[in-house]
């Protein structure tokens, strides 16, 4: 049988066998098509969430479903905003619907463990609504449990301390910055242009949002915080920790069946 | 003319005069009907967001629209979760629709400054979507600008240091805890039952969510962090700072017309 | 325990105790933010529906949930129309969704008696749809029953005869007119400007509607029928009768469990 | 050229010629598939609304679009309720969508006068929402005006006095009663079973609604008020007056172009 | 009892008796209001689908529900496109909702056999979605089965060979062409203008679609393929075969109860 | 500058440069996660539509946006049906929304040429609706044109004659059969298990559909027609022709700006 982690490369017969024999977790990566400065590609969020999902799946015998490649609308403070060319986003209803449908379908397969692996900050609450509505559709007797996570929440303070020698400034401005750039250098070095690093940032935002967005609050490069200390070694350190700790989370999170 | 800040107490003639003469900001508080432990009332989020909105409006000559009293579904890590009796929430589509309609209607009035004052963490992203869709409905020539904020983001580190002598543990578990309880003691002392303070917390959550929610992750009281050091003096300190700094934000945020 | 009728002032623990011990009816007032002439405030419909709901709740040991303050779009013949500044309305889908969600949530609390108290004529059919969809969501085994009413339907011909010495002209034009003004003088005298009564009306409408609305069919004041004979005594007479008869309706209407 | 009033019997070329040359009003009848007692057919509301629309169109050179044959959910007090076999209704969103789409499409044709002719009481507010959303889609420069009416509102007190010798009891219980039965005897005598008239009614309802509906409030026949004095002469009297006065309304209502 | 096949002409009592005694299939025709060239009326698709539905119902003791007269948006390659005056279409959501509601309602009646008879090519996939969502609403225990068909798929190659002596060119361009025109000559000869036959066609389309549609791809008449060999004899041949074979399909398709 | 065809591998700066300098077409592949028998992977439709899109883009200097990997619900006659384990589909509203959002976003980028490359038969009409609604959102002045196609419509009769020596049986049953298997052997030979070819088929379906679907109409393998004559040479022949002719279509289809 095909031992790949990628669900879309399995025949339905092999997938069914896996589901019935092993009750594997299926990981559904969710990304975005969003500006990540001049040095990282538009697809960074989907590439990273699927990469850590694949590493995790390899550790626990799981599978990775096809990535949702279009995310919720980019916001100035976390992704630069919707005014950038190339950022290609969906409305809330679309993302909610996509996740709701996925929950219903994976439950029909007989799956009991679905993991939504989010790689784009703006997606979070629409994933929650999609899961909630999907489980409502299934009714109270469903056997499916859904775990939802942002992969960067599995980085420990120790590791962040190693990566940021001058102190971790927080996740707030880490868009197209050291964490994402380092992980891209680890997973997809050929897609990173270190020669085009922007000096922009750190961006400074007031404690409120304005709509229509104030585009002049955001550096023209789209980079909210400098990525200049990024390297592949840091990327590997982060990626390995995330995958290892996500694997542990899958083991403990699904230990109990539905209450 | 009626000098109240409460829009629903104005006649349409007085409201129209205010809008046409002063271009006042209108503040729309958004709360929730959600468990806040045994010592705070279900309506805490709406009561606090409307109170700070009213204080702010008084400082800047603004108006306060009727509160949206039902918020998005409570999540275990920030509000305890939907399994509590009394928590009464709306789906994403409902909250998005309510805000979208409000944006369209206030623009029709000729208003140029709308401020969404959020008092319930879970609401944030659905407010964003509602504003975005409302502005899309209005088209590119609309004169209305919308500010969106969570009121607690206007507390400064200095003040939080004064309130939390042993160090501010962060907003994460501040549900029905020191900040909200102190502010309720300031604004609505008769609705606080200090004799019923729970000793629960601080709650300890893993870096992922599970659905259906793991109700045993949440203290039975619904309190995520102890409120025992709360008092009205701290509440006044926080409330005054929030109103003062929100007033400044309104002045600077709306300085420029739509780009 | 807190004996208030206002649900948002109860802690979840007190609310749960009330629901489990007494199976109280919960009354959900629904209003509007709508022009009511130069003499009544924009919030009249929500203020009156919540006031009669509170009086009724006090008589039967019920509770009053937070008012839905924004109603369906104002129509020329019953509310003057959407062209007035200050009238702030929602689309059908929003109001339907709000009620649908409320039905589902109150059923989850274990409540068996929900009463939708409508104070804005235009809301009626969207409340019906919201209730219907909410009960459909709950399925055939739900224990919740929902009563829906317009509060003015509890005024008897006798009382209306007392109020209107020259004969009751019918509810059709009673927007911002004698009934509402008198009840506001009873409940909220400080919000009524009797010095600003309009002489407009009675408005005369053809037996059809036109869209876009013919704004010249509606008096410029927004008053469809004169309020000049209003007084607080009449208001109390009406309010007392409505509350008393609504209380009787709650007792008889919920006598039987779901069929 | 084909001189029929029925739009669906015209070729598009003839329809286009009519629209461009005469700017005729198009009447869109809206009915229901709903129990009307043992003596009237399920399609009564659609049959009557299309019949009066056709008579009116003949008087003013108008056209009649295909009837919307499925109406909003039947309510106990006006149509008996949804528990009757044969009653086949649509959700609010469906009816709203159907009308919204129609408004947009007729405007695209270059039509300036659309008349929604309602024959089912429960439809009214969803037609209003459909028209409002359709006109919103079209934007402020649209040339289309929409008239909306219930055909029975064109019966004068004089005529109702002639029909009801003992006094007109009001429209409230006139479901499957004298007015509809008489008009059916005029338009479709072969579809009326006068031998099966029910003696039920008048039904007596409290001033509130209960959900799930109390089916025992409604006579088992579905008839809310006796139809025993119905005859075709009364039907013709009513039908002629309705058509004549609707024709006048079309002439005066569309006299002015969009404001 | 009334022996008509037309459901809207039956009283609810007669309908209920039919449903309970005979478990008849109910056929729901779905058409469109769409240009069909200068020689056929706008309502052709609804007229033909209801005519074959009625013929079929007569053969199997079935009933015909009121036609859905407005179809999905016309496409250039199959119906000429939305730019024609008179074509009056609905959005996907509207048609899906109409069918979903119908499925739910007919199941409530106790019906077990519903047949959607499509007469407008563009409707197909939205009917499928409507049926799927309706059955999802009903849940897994529903007794209703739904058959869905396009009536022209019941024409056999032999008969098409008889009709097209030079070879059947395929259904692709058969809009307002020989098949529809012949069947209209059989069912509604007075609505066909053979003197206005267009010589247009056959239209020639590339293997892709363009949006906004390229209106110059479509003949100005709206006719995609000549109807000049149409006659009523061919129409009767086709109509009889369709009705006979649809009747057989109903007998065999509903032989088994729901799995 | 990065010369890849894959949009998600470009930085936003490079993408913007490409869009502004070359006005490249962007191709959006749409697939499905659907059973394709025991010998082909679940992701076949997305893999093939993105592969032909990439080949086409290479010929015309275009770009390929991330694939929509989840398609509309599988139907028995074209994809085997929804009862297969592994088939993971979306509701109509989700797919419509995804395409509508994409149309709006690509227009915002300043793109003028968007090509929807469909690889899953069931998607077709929901793509049409998504494009139509997206263009409606953009309004009449938009510069974006959208081409929509099924890639297999670019195979010529000559080539199909070469592939099927005994005559091309038509696209109807070509699910997981010779065309798809040969193209997968060309593009992804390591994902094809020729040792697991099913002998099933050709499936024989009646001229109607049944819902709930009759799963016994579909071979247990999910294969509707044998793939036994598939090989990589045929796959290359087909793939090359499709890419070449799609490239021609892009050149001629977008020759003219929006009308």
Active site residues of A: 34, 36, 45, 120, 122, 175, 180
Which tokens is E235 given?
Answer: 């129409």
Q: Of these residues, C55, C122, C174, C200, which one is catalytic? A: C122
Lowest mean pLDDT among B82-91, D248-257, E242-251, F35-44: D248-257
CA distances from E108 to C135, D68, D138, E19 (A): 16, 21, 38, 11
Asked if residue C258 has pLDDT above 90, the reply is no
Contact between B105 and C98 using a beta-carbon 8 Å cutoff: no
Place of tokens 């900001």: B25
**Is position C129 within any domain?**
yes
CA-CA distance, F250 to F255, in Å (whole number)?
8
Whether D175 is catalytic: yes
Q: Does chain D reach chain E with at least 3 CB pairs under 8 Å? A: yes
Whether D36 is catalytic: yes
pLDDT of residue E259: 60
Of F10, F68, F88, which has the smallest distance from its Cβ to A41's Cβ? F10
**Is position B141 within any domain?**
yes
- Give contacts of C 58-97 with B, CB under 8 A: 65-67, 69-70, 82, 84-91, 93-94, 97
**Is position E67 within any domain?**
yes
pLDDT of residue E258: 74
Q: Which residues pair with residue E147 across a beta bridge?
A: E115, F210
Chosen from F20, F41, F184 to mutate, greatest number of chain A CBs within 10 A: F41
User: What burial class does residue C51 get, using C-beta atoms within 10 Å of its C-beta: 0-12 exposed, 13-18 middle, 19+ buried?
Assistant: buried
Contact between E97 and D94 using a beta-carbon 8 Å cutoff: yes
State how far residue F161 is from chain A, nearest Cα, in angstroms: 29
**Is position D259 within any domain?**
no
Instruction: Answer whether A1 touches B (CB < 8 Å).
Output: no
Confidence of residue C1 (pLDDT cuts 50, 70, 90): low
Contact between A148 and B258 using a beta-carbon 8 Å cutoff: no
Instruction: Answer whether D189 touches C (CB < 8 Å).
Output: no
**What is the spatial order of strands in the sheet that B145-150 belongs to?**
A209-211, B145-150, B113-118, B26-30, B63-64
Chains that contact C by 3+ CB pairs under 8 Å? B, D
Q: Residue-wise pLDDT tens for chain A (259 aa)? A: 678 999 999 999 999 999 999 999 999 999 999 999 999 999 999 999 999 999 999 999 999 999 999 999 999 999 999 999 999 999 999 999 999 999 999 999 999 999 999 999 999 999 999 999 999 999 999 999 999 999 999 999 999 999 999 889 888 888 999 999 999 999 999 999 999 998 887 889 999 999 999 999 999 999 999 999 999 999 999 999 999 999 999 999 999 877 6
- Give contacts of C 155-174 with B, CB under 8 A: none
State how far residue D218 is from chain C, nearest Cα, in angstroms: 15
State how far residue C145 is from chain B, nearest Cα, in angstroms: 17
Q: Which segments in chain F show pLDDT lower than 50?
A: none
Between F201 and C84, the more confident residue is: C84
**Is position C150 within any domain?**
yes
pLDDT of residue F225: 92
Instruction: Answer whether D259 touches C (CB < 8 Å).
Output: yes
Three-state DSSP string of chain E: CCCCCEHHHCCHHHHHHHHHHHCCCEEEEECCECCECCCECCCHHHHHHHHHHHHHHHHHCCEECCCECCCECCCHHHHCCCCCCCCECECHHHHHHHHHHHHHHHHHCCCCEEEEEECCHHHHHHHHHHHHHHHHHHCCCCCCEEEEEEHHHHCCHHHHHHHCCCCCCCCCCCCCCHHHHHHHHHHCHHHCCHHHCCCCCCCCCCCCEEECCCHHHCCCCCCCCCCCCCCHHHHHHHHHHHHHHHHHHHHHHCCCCCC
Q: Which domain holds residue A198?
A: 7-253
**Is position A217 within any domain?**
yes
Whether F122 is catalytic: yes
Task: Give F137's contacts in chain E (Cβ within 8 Å).
Answer: none
pLDDT of residue D259: 60
Lowest mean pLDDT among C48-57, E220-229, F235-244: E220-229
Contact between A234 and A163 under an 8 Å Cβ cutoff? The reply is yes
**Is position B1 within any domain?**
no
Instruction: Answer whether F7 touches E (CB < 8 Å).
Output: no
Asked if residue C140 has pLDDT above 90, the reply is yes
Whether F120 is catalytic: yes
pLDDT of residue F259: 60
Contact between E147 and F210 using a beta-carbon 8 Å cutoff: yes
Of E75, E210, E253, which has the smallest distance from its Cβ to F208's Cβ? E253
Counting the structural domains of chain A, the total is: 1
- Give contacts of C 213-252 with D, CB under 8 A: 214-215, 245, 249, 252
State how far residue C184 is from chain B, nearest Cα, in angstroms: 11
Q: Residue-wise pLDDT tens for chain B (259 aa)? A: 678 999 999 999 999 999 999 999 999 999 999 999 999 999 999 999 999 999 999 999 999 999 999 999 999 999 999 999 999 999 999 999 999 999 999 999 999 999 999 999 999 999 999 999 999 999 999 999 999 999 999 999 999 999 999 889 888 888 999 999 999 999 999 999 999 998 887 889 999 999 999 999 999 999 999 999 999 999 999 999 999 999 999 999 999 877 6
Per-residue pLDDT of D110-167, as tens digits, reads 999 999 999 999 999 999 999 999 999 999 999 999 999 999 999 999 999 999 998 9
Confidence of residue E169 (pLDDT cuts 50, 70, 90): confident
Burial code (b: 16+ CB inside 10 Å, e: under 16) for E28-42 equals bbbbbbbbbbbbbbb
Which tokens is A240 given?
Answer: 């390995």
Of B42, B46, B67, which has the smallest distance from its Cβ to C11's Cβ? B42
pLDDT of residue C84: 98
CA-CA distance, E183 to E180, in Å (whole number)?
5
Of C6, C12, C84, which has the smallest distance from its Cβ to B85's Cβ? C12
Q: Of these residues, D55, D150, D174, D180, which one is catalytic? A: D180
Chains that contact F by 3+ CB pairs under 8 Å? A, E
CATH of the domain at B224: 3.40.50.10310
CA-CA distance, A48 to A187, in Å (whole number)?
8
Place of tokens 């509505």: A133
Q: What is the ipTM of this complex?
A: 0.97
Contact between F259 and E214 using a beta-carbon 8 Å cutoff: yes
State how far residue E65 is from chain F, nearest Cα, in angstroms: 19
**Is position D15 within any domain?**
yes
pLDDT of residue F1: 60
Per-residue pLDDT of E67-124, as tens digits, reads 999 999 999 999 999 999 999 999 999 999 999 999 999 999 999 999 999 999 999 9
CA-CA distance, B10 to C86, in Å (whole number)?
9
Asked if residue C256 has pLDDT above 90, the reply is no
Confidence of residue D1 (pLDDT cuts 50, 70, 90): low
The mean pLDDT value of chain C amounts to 96
Instruction: Answer whether E98 touches D (CB < 8 Å).
Output: yes
Percent helix, percent strand, percent coil in chain D, to nearest 5: 45, 10, 40
């Amino acid at each position: 049988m095909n031992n790949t982690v990628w669900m879309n490369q399995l025949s339905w017969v092999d997938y069914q066998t896996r589901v019935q024999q092993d009750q594997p977790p299926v990981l559904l990566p969710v990304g975005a098509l969003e500006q990540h400065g001049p040095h990282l590609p538009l697809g960074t969020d989907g590439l990273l969430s699927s990469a850590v999902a694949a590493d995790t799946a390899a550790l626990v015998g799981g599978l990775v479903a096809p990535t949702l490649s279009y995310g919720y609308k980019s916001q100035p403070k976390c992704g630069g905003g919707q005014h950038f060319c190339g950022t290609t986003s969906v409305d809330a209803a679309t993302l909610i619907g996509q996740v709701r449908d996925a929950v219903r379908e994976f439950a029909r397969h007989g799956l009991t463990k679905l993991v939504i692996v989010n790689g784009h900050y703006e997606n979070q609450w629409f994933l929650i609504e999609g899961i909630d509505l999907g489980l409502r559709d299934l009714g109270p007797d469903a056997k499916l449990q859904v775990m939802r996570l942002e992969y960067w929440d599995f980085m420990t303070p120790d590791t962040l301390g190693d990566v940021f020698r001058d102190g971790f400034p927080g996740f707030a401005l880490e868009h197209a910055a050291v964490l994402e750039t380092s992980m891209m250098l680890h997973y997809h070095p050929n897609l990173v242009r270190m020669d085009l690093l922007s000096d922009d940032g750190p961006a400074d935002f007031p404690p409120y949002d304005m709509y229509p967005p104030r585009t002049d609050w955001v550096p023209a490069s789209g980079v909210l915080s400098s990525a200049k200390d990024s390297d592949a070694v840091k990327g590997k350190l982060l990626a390995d920790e995330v995958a290892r700790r996500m694997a542990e989370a899958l083991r403990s999170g699904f230990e109990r069946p539905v209450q």
